[in-house]
């Protein structure tokens, strides 16, 4: 229902809907949206994005003030009704975007679907990258991990409206989403570090600097645009009733000329988007590989197998065969393949290397093919940017070799959360390295899970499913306790 007052929907043959009517619609929707956001702010759990709900509300209220101001200006200058109509129509489109794209971030979430043990650690890590970050976890029904970053959220939205700047909100709102089904899967949540890698990349401007230097070969782009033009331009000319070629057309610009330009722009824009996306993913992959060592490789391999993207390229992500290939080369560079002391993991990485090399990872789709070549030809820039990134922790094979055996044998295989270790050098107990705990969890899962099943008395298939959930809880407990201990020691 709307409160359109006495505005008529069909006043006469010329104007189908009055601007006044549409304005009333905007004025009705704004307070409804505001009330919805107020409710959502109240319902959001303590782990949820309350600050984001408040930011959204502030923006909606500012949009309302902006609309009133613009309508008042138009009325003062006696603008035609159609002008008011158009303004209201655009504001309604903005409100629709808000409803569809932004409100889902603050939709009520079951707190049990938020792994709070990881949230605390991620928030701490994000603040190390930039202190002005508000990070939230978002369980999603899509089976994927995602990074959603909003920099200068309030200011950049309000730039489009006649509204005063609003203070009191963080520079960054960050959401990391994960499959709802895997809410308690500590092993797959290793992938969240890749998502945090995106934040590090955006703040340090690594991808931006890389893309400034990336060169694309123009020949295949032009050839592809010409190929597409061969079918599209004659078809469009036929539709428009234009002469078949530009030679016969008048001296002025023709639709055929424009279509040729538009096709080249489209081809270039799509390739630029793919290259940009794949460079960002490669940077985040290499950051995660350096931070986490083999654990990240195994997590991405398992996720890729689960959703069958090993050989499937998309504009957003290159196929996992390609990604896992360069991640493994990074691990080789860090001596994880040559110097790792655990034989089953050494053999597993060698087997993966063989598997990844057994098939070409080049895409078939022509835009992606050009993007792929561009990435391969410029990969040195990406590696160098990550290797020289300031303040980026690198997990070493020496730590892996020192910690993993102890954590796997003495703790995880027995169902005990690994929290502290005896440090002979200082004669004190110290928390285990958190990255070693995550790697040990993967090693146990991949090579010794039968021991965990035996320790927990899981004999049947159903009992093993439950036991694996328990294993994940042991790992989450270790992460939580480790974090508390670290905080306490600090």
Partner 1 sequence: MIHRELLPRALSYNLLATRVGAILETFGPIGLTDRDSKILEEAKSFLESALEGRRATQAMEVTEKALAASDAYGEAIEATAQLLNQGAQVPKEVEGLFRAFIEALDHLLARQPVSKERLGLLRQFFAGLREATLLQVSPNIEEITLSEG
Contact 388, 454 (CB under 8 A): no
Given 15, 65, 86, 448, the residue binding partner 1 (CB under 8 A): 86
CA distance 62 to 279: 36
Q: Which stretch binds partner 1 (CB under 8 A): 23-31, 210-218, 382-390, 429-437?
A: 210-218
CA distances, 111 to each of 45, 48, 114, 176, 184 (Å): 7, 8, 5, 15, 12
Torsion angle, CA of 300/302/307/309, rounded to 10 degrees?
A: 50
Rounded distance between C-alpha atoms, residue 95 and residue 84, angstroms: 17
Cβ atoms of residues 261 and 275 within 8 Å: no
The tokens 């600050």 sit on which residue? 51
Token look-up 């409803």 returns 99
For residue 116, the minimal CB distance to partner 1 (Å) is: 23
Where does this chain touch partner 1 (CB under 8 A) — which range of 23-31, 118-126, 275-283, 341-349?
A: 275-283
Residues 6+ apart with CB under 8 A from 402: 436
Query: Judged by CB, which is closer to partner 1: 116, or 155?
Result: 155
Question: Among residues 208, 235, 238, 335, which is the contact residue for partner 1, using CB under 8 A?
Answer: 208
Q: Does 114 bind partner 1 (CB under 8 A)?
A: no
321 lies in the site for partner 1, by CB under 8 A: no
Q: Is 334 helix (H, G, I), strand (E, B) or coil?
A: coil
Interaction between residue 221 and partner 1 (CB under 8 A): yes
Determine the length of the chain: 490
Query: Following DSSP, what letter does each residue of 345-383 receive, concatenated?
Result: HHHHHHHHHHHHHTS----SSHHHHHHHHHHHHTHHHHH
Q: Is 83 in the site for partner 1 (CB under 8 A)?
A: yes
Binding residue (CB under 8 A) for partner 1 from 74, 206, 295, 438: 74
Tell me the CA distances in angstroms from 190 to 127, 246, 472, one per residue in order. Answer: 18, 57, 12
Buried b (16+ CB within 10 A) or exposed e, 144-167: ebebebbbebbeebbeebebeeee
Rounded to 5 degrees, what angle do the CA atoms 243, 249, 250 make? 140
The helix (run of H) or strand (run of E) holding residue 425 is: none
Nearer to partner 1, 275 or 295 (CB): 275
The residue to which tokens 């036929």 are assigned: 238
Site for partner 1 contains 89 (CB under 8 A): yes
Query: Is 284 strand, coil or helix?
Result: helix
Nearest residue (CB) to partner 1, 2 versus 160: 160
Instruction: Return the number of other C-beta atoms located less than 10 Å from residue 284's C-beta.
Output: 24
The site that binds partner 1 (CB under 8 A) totals a number of residues, namely 62
Q: Does 406 bind partner 1 (CB under 8 A)?
A: no
Q: Which helix (H) or strand (E) holds 177?
A: strand 172-179
Piece of 75-83, 113-121, 396-404, 446-454 that binds partner 1 (CB under 8 A)? 75-83
Among 3, 12, 14, 100, binds partner 1 (CB under 8 A): 100
198 binds partner 1 (CB under 8 A): yes
**Which window, 4-12, 26-34, 145-153, 460-468, contacts partner 1 (CB under 8 A)?**
145-153
**Binding residue (CB under 8 A) for partner 1 from 38, 73, 332, 355:** 73
Among the listed residues 266, 338, 377, 428, the single contact to partner 1 using CB under 8 A: 266
10 is a contact residue toward partner 1 (CB under 8 A) = no
For the chain, the first-to-last Cα distance in angstroms comes to: 58
Q: Does 303 bind partner 1 (CB under 8 A)?
A: no
Candidate segments 185-193, 207-215, 289-297, 379-387, binder of partner 1 by CB under 8 A:
207-215
Site membership for partner 1, residue 218 (CB under 8 A): yes
Q: Least distance from C-beta 199 to partner 1, angstroms?
A: 10
Contact present, 144 and 179 (Cβ < 8 Å): yes
Check residue 399 for interaction with partner 1 (CB under 8 A).
no
Least distance CB 375 / partner 1 (angstroms): 10
Q: Is 253 in the site for partner 1 (CB under 8 A)?
A: yes
| 160 in contact with partner 1 (CB under 8 A) | yes
Work out which of 77, 165, 360, 462 binds partner 1, going by CB under 8 A. 77
Nearest residue (CB) to partner 1, 100 versus 425:
100
Structure tokens at 248: 């016969």
Q: Which residues within the stretch 363-392 sit at the binding site for partner 1 (CB under 8 A)?
A: 374
Does position 323 bind partner 1 by CB under 8 A? no
Alpha-carbon torsion, ordered 390, 392, 396, 402, to 10 deg? 120
Report the C-alpha dihedral over residues 8, 10, 12, 16, rounded to 10 degrees: 110
Binding flag, residue 258, partner 1 (CB under 8 A): yes
Q: Which stretch binds partner 1 (CB under 8 A): 19-27, 140-148, 302-310, 453-461?
A: 140-148
409 burial via Cβ count (<10 Å: 0-12, 13-18, 19+): middle
Residues in touch with partner 1 (CB under 8 A): 70, 73-74, 77-80, 83, 86-87, 89-90, 93-94, 96-97, 100, 102, 144, 146-150, 153, 156-157, 160, 162, 198, 208, 211-212, 214, 216-218, 221, 251-255, 257-258, 261-262, 264-266, 268-269, 271-273, 275-277, 280, 316-317, 374
């Amino acid at each position: 229902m709307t409160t359109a007052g006495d505005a008529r929907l069909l006043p006469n043959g010329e104007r189908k809907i009055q601007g006044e009517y549409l304005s009333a619609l905007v004025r009705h929707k704004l307070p409804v949206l505001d009330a919805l956001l107020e409710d959502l702010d109240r319902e959001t759990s303590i782990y949820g994005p309350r600050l984001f709900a408040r930011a959204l509300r502030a923006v909606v209220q500012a949009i309302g003030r902006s609309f009133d101001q613009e309508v008042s200006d138009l009325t003062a200058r006696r603008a035609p009704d159609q002008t008011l109509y158009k303004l209201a129509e655009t504001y309604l489109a903005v409100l629709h975007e808000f409803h569809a794209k932004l409100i889902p971030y603050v939709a009520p979430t079951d707190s049990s679907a938020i792994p709070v043990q990881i949230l605390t650690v991620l928030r701490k890590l994000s603040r190390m990258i930039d202190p002005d970050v508000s990070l939230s976890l978002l369980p999603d029904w899509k089976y994927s991990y995602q990074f959603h970053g909003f920099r200068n959220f309030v200011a950049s939205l309000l730039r489009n409206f006649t509204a005063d700047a609003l203070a009191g909100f963080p520079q960054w709102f960050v959401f990391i989403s994960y499959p709802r089904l895997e809410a308690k899967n500590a092993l797959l949540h290793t992938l969240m570090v890749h998502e945090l890698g995106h934040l590090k990349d955006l703040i340090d401007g690594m991808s931006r600097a890389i893309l400034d230097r990336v060169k694309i070969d123009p020949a295949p782009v032009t050839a592809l645009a010409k190929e597409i033009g061969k079918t599209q331009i004659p078809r469009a000319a036929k539709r428009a009733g234009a002469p078949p070629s530009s030679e016969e057309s008048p001296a002025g610009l023709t639709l055929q000329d424009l279509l040729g330009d538009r096709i080249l722009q489209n081809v270039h824009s799509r390739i630029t988007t793919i290259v940009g996306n794949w460079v960002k993913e490669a940077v985040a992959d290499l950051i995660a590989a350096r931070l986490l060592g083999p654990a990240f490789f195994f997590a991405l391999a398992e996720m890729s197998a689960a959703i069958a993207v090993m050989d499937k390229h998309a504009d957003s992500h290159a196929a996992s065969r390609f990604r896992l290939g360069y991640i493994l080369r990074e691990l080789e560079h860090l001596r994880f393949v040559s110097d790792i002391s655990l034989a089953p993991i050494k053999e597993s990485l060698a087997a993966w290397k063989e598997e990844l090399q057994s098939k070409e990872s080049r895409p078939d789709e022509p835009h992606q093919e050009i993007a792929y070549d561009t990435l391969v030809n410029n990969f040195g820039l990406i590696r160098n940017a990550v290797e020289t990134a300031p303040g980026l922790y690198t997990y070493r094979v020496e730590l892996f070799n020192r910690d993993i055996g102890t954590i796997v044998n003495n703790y995880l295989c027995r169902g005990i959360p690994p929290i502290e270790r005896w440090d002979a050098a200082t004669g004190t107990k110290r928390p285990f390295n958190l990255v070693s705990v995550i790697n040990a969890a993967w090693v146990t899962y991949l090579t010794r899970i039968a021991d965990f099943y035996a320790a927990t008395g899981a004999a049947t298939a159903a009992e093993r499913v439950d036991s694996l959930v328990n294993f994940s809880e042991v790992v989450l407990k270790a992460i939580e306790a480790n974090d508390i201990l670290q905080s306490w020691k600090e």
